[in-house]
A and B are shown apart, each in its own frame.
Chain A
Amino acid sequence: MSTLPQLLEEDVQELNKALEELLTRSEATTALVTDKAGFCIVQQGDLDTFDATSLGALASNSFNANQAIAQMINEPNFNTVYQQGEKHSMLVMDVDEFTVLIIIFPAAVSVGMVKYYAAQAAQVISRQLMIAKSRSPGQGIDLAMLNMEDSSQLFKKKDL
């Protein structure tokens, strides 16, 4: 199964730059790019208020659920999920086969504006991921740095 490409420093920089621009232009609070399996790839904005890991996992799974509903009702174009709240709203947008863009913004900000800039950011993100993919297609992951010091106890139970 094909999957996300390995990301190098320059990829992460480009993705972060796209998110920073999105936040500045759209007045959104927080933006994340996550893999559809729920992994958080990059994030920008207010990360003290929100737990990016859980937010990314929940939003991407919610997006997947929405896609499943789309298939059930033969709707080919459920490519965004929008939740309007009292203080904050959320927009989740499809980037490509593997990735979604999640944006949290103040409820007072127009969703139309956020959508417009999010679509632009999604294009930049998609393009950068394509570049990363073409650079190292398929396998060849370098985990030479991985050093399992004590492989018998990767997770340790607290002493009671």
Chain B
Amino acid sequence: MALINQATKELQVKVVYYGPALCGKTTNLVKVHENVQTAQEKGKLVSLATSSDRTLFFDFLPIEAMSIKGFKTKFQLYTVPGQVIYNTTRQLVLRGVDGIVFVADSQYEKMAENVESFANLEENLKANKLNLDEIPYVLQYNKRDLPNVAPVDYMEYLLNNREVRVPAFEASAHKVEGVFETLNAITRLLLQKFINESKKPA
């Protein structure tokens, strides 16, 4: 869970990009890294990938939000490996997660994989003694620029049909469309949660 250091006025938050294999999780981080405006020197994007650029352990991007005053607000963005066999690794990366971006592949033929990956997310959170009802998350429907995409309503029906509906964004991550909207949305949800919790009596 987030690290709050009153001494150094620092808030550190962990966001994990989750989703099926090849849905564009790493592309999201790469595009954030390439395109973000930063006040200070930009953190390095670390990718632990195979020789064919498939994520093996995780990608990691440390980044600081520009327009939040009072606390130095540092975000650690992670991706998980999407391939089904790397489940233990996904569980490890979810340790201490504060917020989640679920990246879904909009292509019709990927719907089953999206649903399976979402169910896998819930299971892996439980393995970490966490619950999706208590963790801010947003959905991103990626690859909207491809010809064979499912309608957004259908994806909403499949992935956003829990008791509380969450913000969902259409994206074409490789064109940087929807990438920053998604990141800003999860950041806002997270900070709002922290602010609300800070108002509760100890």
Interface, chain A (partner B; CB < 8 A): 1, 3-4, 6-9, 11-13, 35-41, 51, 53-54, 57-58, 61, 64-65, 68, 136, 138-158
Structural contact, B60 and A58, CB atoms closer than 8 A: yes
8 contacts between A and B (CB under 8 A): A6-B4, A6-B5, A9-B7, A12-B5, A37-B1, A57-B76, A139-B202, A150-B67
The closest CB in chain A to the CB of B97 belongs to A37
Bound-state CA distance A152–B20 (Å) is 28
Structural contact, B92 and A64, CB atoms closer than 8 A: yes
Smallest beta-carbon distance A85→chain B, Å: 18
- Residues of B within 8 Å of A41, CB to CB, are 3, 5
- Residues of B within 8 Å of A54, CB to CB, are 43-44, 46, 60, 62
Smallest beta-carbon distance B144→chain A, Å: 18
Structural contact, A35 and B194, CB atoms closer than 8 A: no
Interface residues in B1-15 by Cβ distance below 8 A to A read 1-9, 11-12, 14
- Residues of A within 8 Å of B191, CB to CB, are 146, 148, 151, 154
- 1/0 per residue, CB under 8 A from A, across B60-84: the answer is 1011011111110110101000000
Structural contact, B95 and A37, CB atoms closer than 8 A: yes
Partner of B62, one of A11, A36, A53: A53
Listed residue (A9, A40, A146, A150) with the most chain B CB atoms within 10 angstroms of its CB: A146
Bound-state CA distance A141–B200 (Å) is 8
Bound-state CA distance A13–B184 (Å) is 34
Smallest beta-carbon distance B127→chain A, Å: 11
B152 proximal to A (CB < 8 A): no
Known: A143-B11, A157-B35, A158-B37. A151 touches B188 (CB 8 A): yes
- Residues of A within 8 Å of B65, CB to CB, are 154-155
Bound-state CA distance A159–B141 (Å) is 24
- Residues of B within 8 Å of A3, CB to CB, are 1-2, 96
B166 proximal to A (CB < 8 A): no
Q: Is the interface of B mostly helix, strand, loop or mixed?
A: mixed
The closest CB in chain B to the CB of A151 belongs to B188
Size of interface on B: residues with Cβ below 8 Å to A = 59
Structural contact, A7 and B5, CB atoms closer than 8 A: yes
Structural contact, A35 and B96, CB atoms closer than 8 A: yes
The closest CB in chain B to the CB of A57 belongs to B60
The closest CB in chain A to the CB of B92 belongs to A64
Partner of A11, one of B7, B43, B180: B7
Smallest beta-carbon distance A80→chain B, Å: 18
- Residues of B within 8 Å of A61, CB to CB, are 57-58, 92-93
Known: A146-B71, A154-B65. A7 touches B6 (CB 8 A): yes
The closest CB in chain A to the CB of B180 belongs to A157
Interface residues in B155-202 by Cβ distance below 8 A to A read 176, 180, 183-184, 187-188, 191, 194-195, 197-198, 200-202
Structural contact, A142 and B198, CB atoms closer than 8 A: yes
- Residues of A within 8 Å of B197, CB to CB, are 139, 141
- Residues of B within 8 Å of A68, CB to CB, are 88, 91-92
